[in-house]
């Protein structure tokens, strides 16, 4: 398996991988950047990946070590950072607990996810305000779904705090089968 995407100046192709085997396959295909994922909600973690947050982070530690040895970029996504479809509101300290473990592993950028699109700007300010006490704005990204039409307001709230990296998708596509009722990601346009 070899990467058949064209090399484009300024473009980084990321391989989304759940484990070490996926990371090794991505490297063998020629990718130089990996993205991993976990959650801030225990129930969502189990439903999405069939593993606890702690077990998920243990597996990601192996991926992080591999990425460091191979000199690959490493980005992480943390789902359900504001509201979980199973547990309700997530306390910002739970998000910080997960994010700090990822930072300690050497993850260079962490995308904080509003998986079901229910966050409010005040929640965004609270979560990113706490995270910014631990790492600069360049370490953080936002991943907002637009279920209730608030994704752009949430981007603005994060921008006002200095966060300038955001995920988006063509036409607002995306979502997760374990996030009932959630709309797609914020549309790039």
As a whole number of angstroms, the distance between CA 60 and CA 73 comes to 14
Q: Calculate ∠ Cα 148-123-52, nearest 5°.
A: 90
Marked catalytic residue, from 46, 132, 153, 176: 176
Q: Which long-range contacts (CB under 8 A, 24 or more apart) does 129-135 make?
A: 129/161, 130/92, 130/93, 130/95, 130/96, 131/95, 131/96, 131/99, 132/161, 132/162, 134/96, 134/99, 134/100, 134/103, 135/103
Is 176 among the residues known to form the active site? yes
Q: Are 114 and 89 in contact (CB under 8 A)?
A: no
Q: Are 183 and 175 in contact (CB under 8 A)?
A: yes
Task: For residue 160, give Cα distances in angstroms to 95, 121, 129, 164, 178.
Answer: 20, 10, 11, 9, 31
Residues 6+ apart with CB under 8 A from 25: 1, 15, 17
Q: Which residues are catalytic?
A: 176
């Amino acid at each position: 398996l070899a990467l058949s995407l064209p090399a484009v100046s300024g473009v980084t192709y990321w391989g989304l991988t759940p484990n070490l085997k996926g990371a090794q396959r991505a490297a063998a295909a020629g990718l130089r950047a990996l993205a991993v994922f976990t959650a801030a909600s225990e129930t969502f973690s189990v439903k999405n990946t069939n593993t606890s947050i702690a077990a998920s982070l243990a597996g990601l530690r192996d991926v992080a070590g591999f990425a460091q040895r191979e000199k690959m970029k490493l980005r992480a996504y943390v789902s359900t950072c504001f509201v979980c479809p199973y547990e309700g509101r997530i306390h910002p300290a739970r998000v910080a607990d997960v994010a700090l473990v990822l930072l300690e592993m050497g993850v260079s950028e962490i995308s904080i996810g509003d998986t079901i699109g229910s966050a409010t700007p005040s929640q965004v300010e609270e979560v990113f305000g706490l995270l910014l006490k631990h790492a600069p704005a360049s370490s953080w990204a936002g991943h907002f779904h637009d279920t209730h039409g608030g994704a752009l307001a949430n981007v603005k709230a994060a921008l006002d705090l200095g966060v300038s990296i955001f995920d988006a998708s063509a036409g607002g596509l995306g979502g997760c089968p374990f996030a009932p009722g959630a709309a797609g990601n914020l549309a790039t346009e």
